[in-house]
Amino acid sequence: MAIQKIAEKEKEIVIEKKIERSKKDEYAAPADRVIMILFGATGDLANRKIFPALNSMNRQGTIPKKFRVIAIGRRDYTNDIFREKVKNSIEYFSTVKSGKNTDSFLKIVDYLKADFTKEEAYAKLKRKIEEEENESNLLYYLATSPDNFGVIAKMLKKYGLAHDKKNKFWRRVIIEKPFGSDIASAKRLNKMLKHGFPESRIFRIDHYLGKELVQNILVLRFTNIIFEQLWNQKYIDNVQITVAEDAGVGRRGGYYDSAGALRDMVQSHLLQLVSLIAMEPPVSLSGRDISSEKVKVFRSLTPLTSKDVETNIVRGQYSAGVVKGRSVKGYREEEGVRRDSDTETFVAMKLTINNMRWAGVPFYLRTGKRMKDRFANIIIQFKELPCVLFCDVEGGMRPNMLTIRIQPEEGMETTFNLKTPGSGMDIQSVRMNFSHEAEFGPNTPEAYEKLIYNTISGDTTLFTSWKEVEQSWIFIDPIFKVWRKRKPRFPNYAAGTMGPREADMFIRADGREWNFN
């Protein structure tokens, strides 16, 4: 019996040490020696986002002192040719144009021609890392199709590149959405990644979480008593989240046609925004504690019945139209899109959260391609006061609103009622406006700069945990099951509009309107 107790005690100590090591790994300070291995280095994501972000970080001094990039691609480039292409990408896509700082950044970028779908690529990569500096932290950025995640993780483990035997240096991996196409594929994807990396070392990027105003949601809520006291069903009438895009699918037609707006935007970006608005105060600001509260929100979402999908969700697909004075083609005419495609480019939906704070408060979500304008905002509409003193005044009383503007102009504003100048008692809704750029200047770090920096720092706060991914798919999956049984009447909205008429009708059925504020 005594021996068994000793064994159990020793087991507890081992577990505690593992947890402690995990915490240290997750929240370690930025390392001095880091090699980023970038898979898919010749792709669109690397050119548009990753290299411009790294160049900007180099200029600001926010990358480690000893930092190198090994860029892996299949094309037959020399170092000089590849660096010139990276320079062109920075010049075209970056807010910081090329110059002396860019030249210093290009010197730390090396190109490795290799086919990462084949085993010999990893032997080649291992030799390259050993040539660079064997004792370094390794950050793997998988800027590839999710179909390749499994083979990359498996091969990195096989060649001893997923773990440092001395436990002196960390090994981390960044992956981009989509995190599966349904709950079953998401589980398979997660299982493949776990072949090489534990959960604490997997960083799932949702770039919306890196946007400054999205990060400010927690600060707004939990540092301002005037908001937190009102942040519940007693005072809030409804919440509206809109992510509108005036662009079409561009060169992503092939990917988008297999995904659609529900997978591409709602399951990830919009549900993440819902969780930040709706979550309870976390125990701490650690990634683990914040994720725990977000998961509780996803688990509290009222499950959707077949009737809910029919009455509370609208899907659409754009036809040809005019966007900002320019004629554009319909979705089915876009490159890479099937001519009889039933993929949705627009989704509007109502969801509710079944807990004490949000009982009875509808959350209205809306997102689409080729809409009238490009903007993303969150509107908190408060309840109206009882009509007692100012029932018959000119203008009436409009409900107070708080708007969080995510893009293109970052900021916040509140609306409230005041008397207009003059001898009468006319009431007008006025705005108090905060502009992020006016207050802090235009040089706010881009989302990818912050996300890459946080990965190097081991801070998981701005990343999506597996439990969040799993619970969001559990909520979304029933929608597809209903949609598969009913063929949609597409296209059903013209490019340059705000979506199908049905999206306006279903919110009006609740006695509400979409707010543009």
Q: Is the dihedral of CA 109, 112, 113, 117 positive or negative?
A: negative
Q: How far apart are the C-alpha atoms of 342 and 262, rounded to whole Å?
A: 13
Mean of pLDDT values over 307-314 = 95
- At residue 13, the pLDDT reads 39
Query: Could you tell me which of 86, 54, 113 has the C-alpha nearest to residue 453?
Result: 54
**Do 237 and 381 touch, CB atoms closer than 8 A?**
yes
Residues 291 and 469: beta-carbon distance below 8 Å? no
DSSP reduced 3-state for 434: strand
Return the percentage of the chain with pLDDT > 70, whole number: 90
- Distance, CA of 63 to CA of 157 (rounded, Å): 26
At 389, the amino acid letter reads L
SS3 62: coil
Hey, what are 138's tokens?
């390794």
Tokens coding 169:
């240096």
**N- to C-terminal Cα distance for the chain?**
70
- Identify the residue whose tokens are 């144009």: 97
Q: What is the mean pLDDT of residues 479-487?
A: 95
**Which residues have a catalytic role annotated?**
269
Q: Is 379 helix (H, G, I), strand (E, B) or coil?
A: strand
Could you tell me the pLDDT band of residue 420, with boundaries at 50, 70 and 90?
A: confident
74 pLDDT tier (thresholds 50, 70, 90) = very high
Q: What value does the mean pLDDT take over residues 339-356?
A: 97
Domains of the chain as residue ranges with CATH: 12-205 (3.40.50.720), 209-508 (3.30.360.10)
pTM confidence score = 0.89
- Quick one: pLDDT at residue 396? 65
- The helix or strand, by DSSP H or E, that contains position 154, with its residue range, turns out to be helix 149-158
Is beta strand 363-368 parallel, antiparallel or unpaired with respect to 375-382?
unpaired
Lowest mean pLDDT among 132-146, 228-242, 303-317, 378-392: 378-392
- Residue 67 in this model has a pLDDT that exceeds 90: yes
**Residues 248 and 491: beta-carbon distance below 8 Å:** no
The closest of 388, 387, 350 to 512, measured between CA atoms, is 350
- Which segment of 212-221, 353-362, 442-451, 463-472 scores lowest on mean pLDDT? 442-451
Yes or no: say if 137 and 130 are a contact pair by the CB < 8 Å rule: no
Highest-confidence segment of 25-34, 209-218, 233-242, 423-432: 233-242
Cα–Cα nearest to 366, from 345, 396, 381, 335: 345
Average of per-residue pLDDT across 40-56: 93
Q: Give me 131's structure tokens.
A: 């040539």
Q: Closest Cα partner for 59 from 14, 90, 36?
A: 90
pLDDT at 29: 40
Signed CA dihedral, 294, 300, 303, 309: sign only: negative
- Residue 490 burial (C-beta neighbours within 10 Å; 0-12, 13-18, 19+): buried
User: SS3 for 204?
Assistant: strand
Identify whether the C-beta of residue 462 lies closer than 8 Å to the C-beta of residue 216.
Answer: no
| pLDDT score of 130 more than 50 | yes
Write the DSSP string, 108-136. TEEEEE--TTSTHHHHHHHHHHHHHHSSS
- The answer, yes or no, to whether residue 178 has pLDDT greater than 70, is yes
How many CB atoms within 10 Å of residue 300? 18
Least confident of 14-23, 66-75, 81-90, 450-459: 14-23
